[in-house]
Amino acid sequence: MNDSDHVTDMSDDTASDPISDTAQGQADVAPAPPDLSAPELYLNRELTWLSFNRRVLQLAADPRTPLLERVRFLAIVSGNIDGFFMKRIGGLKQLIVAGISTRSVDGRTPAQQIHECHTVVRQIQQERGTVFDNILEELRAEGIKLVTWQELDEADHQALRERYIQEIFPLVTPLAMDPGHPFPFISNLALNLLVTMRFPGEADVRTARVKVPGLPGIAPRLLALGSGATFISLDDVIANNLDLLFPGMRIESCELFRVTRNANVEMDQEQADDLLELMQTELKERHFAPIVRLQVAESMPAAQSAMLAAELGLDDEDVFTVGGLMAMNDLSVIADLPHAHLHYPPHQPADHSRLALDNRSIFHIIRDTGSLLLQHPYESFATSVERFLRSARSDPKVLAIKMTLYRTSADGRIINDLIEAARAGKQVAVLVELKARFDEAANIRWARRLEREGIHVTYGVMGLKTHCKIILVVRKDYDGLRRYAHIGTGNYHSQTARLYSDLGLLTCDDDITADLTGLTNYITGYSPAPRYRKLLVAPHNLKAALLNKIQREIGHANAGRRAHLQFKTNALEDSDITKALYEASMAGVSVDLLVRDTCRLRPGLPDVSPTVTVISTLGRFLEHARLYYFRNDGAEEYFLGSADLMHRNLEARVEVLTPVESKSLRRDLRTFLDIQLSDQRSAWDMGADGSYTLRQPSPELAHEGAQEEAQEGAQETLIALSEKHLAGASHGNDRQVRRKLYKEYRKRYKSNRDI
């Protein structure tokens, strides 16, 4: 699927294209330089993010994607759009309420952005419905069904009714809507039935709202029937058993609806005595936040839809009619069915080749190598990052652990390691970011638990969200205190580490670890921002350093030297960085951008960005790594870390980029970038108009993309090194251990290839 069908939404109607204007009049007058502040040069942040979701939807439509994974991508798109309304549309509506009509860098007012976003969302919704219908047919062919009440026979009806009475009916509460019963509160993202009815013999119509209970494991949205491969929605069951809720009443209609509330409810931190208490209050306030979207079933009469919109204080534009299944994120229960042939082949991360074949302390390994590069999920998070923290917990020579927690997993391994370290007498300090969007409640729980164990817990720098991913360990080595560190692009979350593509660095570099000491003192105490030796840290020196390095590359190009920039990031939104990249391209610098979703820059404009390519890669794993490369006239530089090229990340968050200086690790990063850029399976090329075109591989490469190549590469590297170590083993026991390891990994790798 190509995104060109909504290109008109990406530019103002009055914008001219091509961008550059040639001076009119005398032939010898030089062309006027492009105005790099012209709004038509910048794509809209919200619209390009929606375009990203259209590409995700294409994964659901792509027949090369395994069927149940296509169902999962449908669920992901639905959840993403929900989040978009809660965060982005909610924020734009707040600007309108505040009377702020300032135009974005692309020339749009908040009202214009909302209107254009609504248009694109309706298009996505329609396309998603078509994809959903096609998938339902294919699921049926595999014996997996999503049925309606009308499709079932009387025996099924009776069994479902009995189950409903026993397991769900006590949880359901009807709420009348009349002068004696005010319009009820509608919870965010909850499914509701709007029921109209009459008393027998009366003409007056009564209205009630029934909230569909959503309790995983107790009252799931999709109820499994029989063997578990047939499902029916709970709202459908309730709608066809309303006589239990309204005995003796004549049911006139029953229609489904759902509201989305603004998640941008932020209170004044400056006035807060207790940030933890403030966040708990903010979460409660979010429950009552203004509504930004109303979804109604396609069959709902216009009069009822208008009544709901009026009661909820919404305009007609805020009402979205949904055909088919509402809230498709609930399809994840079908996506999780254990039908192996309908899923991606099982993914087993390889142990890092250096760590798998060395049973010494991980600190000794890091000390001997200087730094280790980690590539998740192709290399195991558990046997690298979690091993690092677990070793710090149990090693008697480790004296202190400091780390940041933005998101972590429910299994609590990271939390438990920190608690065990504190119980062992080590100094443990943790910054828990309470304002990690939609994970606030979980982070409050982690913070409380850590505090109860006597761990030093802080919540960051006032006014800044702490987004960096760092662990700093202080150890008493044979030659004195030495610091070891992990810096990553992904969260300390064991589940997402198997689903997201991320990079990390384990290091004992003196300058980097000294920088991290200064940074942790800054974010946990009152020390001023330190002077960094190697790290690029937002909001202190990161943005200025990136801009200076881009200008340095421009200088090389102006001097006739080869100049090259390659950035891999989730988003390119910052207008200053975008402008600098335009200037670089105009100077002749080659610019390769791997941007997963939001991208303001328009590549391939003849006078502004002729040397720029923008690629978006989507596949089985969520591309989440951030990597920045500068050719620098042969003195190449690579930086990895947590920062995207967004204004908020560069100026309103604590972010860290670390240099990767080892020649061997830089070679690995060069391979990583080359594989990403040459992907012919999962890469989309962006056009100058903001549209995307999926690359079309040759038949022999139809199933081989960057992610598949990285999976194979991690396993093959480990096998090759296993063979090398095996050949060089010096004594019997060592040889036997390594032979066992080698056989284990060869078997694991071969089984994955054979599936």
List the catalytic residues. Answer: 467
Question: What tokens does 323 get?
Answer: 């055909």
Burial class of residue 420 (count of CB atoms within 10 Å of its CB; 0-12, 13-18, 19+): middle
Question: What tokens does 119 get?
Answer: 């248009």
Please state, as a whole number, how many other Cβ atoms lie within 10 Å of the Cβ of residue 678.
13
Q: Which residue spans within 148-190 are E strands per DSSP?
A: 174-177
Residue 195: strand, helix, or coil: strand
- Report the Cα–Cα distance between both ends of the chain, in Å, rounded: 29
Question: What tokens does 551 get?
Answer: 């200008």
**3-state SS string for 221-270:** CEEEECCCCEEEEHHHHHHCCHHHCCCCCEEEEEEEEEEEECCCCCCCHH
Could you identify the residue written with the tokens 């610091």?
483
The per-type count for the chain, helices as H runs and strands as E runs, is 21, 27
Residue 154: strand, helix, or coil: helix
User: Please, are residues 175 and 209 in contact by the beta-carbon 8 Å criterion?
Assistant: yes
Packing angle between helix 362-369 and helix 385-394, nearest 10 degrees?
Answer: 120
The CA-based diameter of the chain, rounded to the nearest angstrom, is 95
Question: What tokens does 296 get?
Answer: 């109604």
How do beta strands 612-617 and 590-595 pair? Answer: parallel
Instruction: Please report which residue ranges of 434-590 form alpha helices under DSSP H.
Output: 440-452, 510-524, 542-558, 575-586
User: Please, are residues 447 and 457 in contact by the beta-carbon 8 Å criterion?
Assistant: yes
Calculate the alpha carbon distances from 601 to 6, 43, 105, 247, 547 in Å: 17, 6, 11, 61, 16
Identify the DSSP state of 606: T
* Backbone angles phi and psi of 590, in degrees to 5: -75, 130
Measured distance CA(183)–CA(113) in Å, rounded: 31
Measured distance CA(217)–CA(214) in Å, rounded: 9
Question: What tokens does 581 get?
Answer: 């990249």
Calculate the alpha carbon distances from 296 to 148, 303, 514 in Å: 18, 12, 56
Q: Tell which residue, 616, 589, 577, 597, has the closest CA to residue 705.
A: 616
Measured distance CA(684)–CA(595) in Å, rounded: 10
* Backbone angles phi and psi of 297, in degrees to 5: -65, 150
Residue 530: cis peptide before it, omega within 30 degrees of 0: no
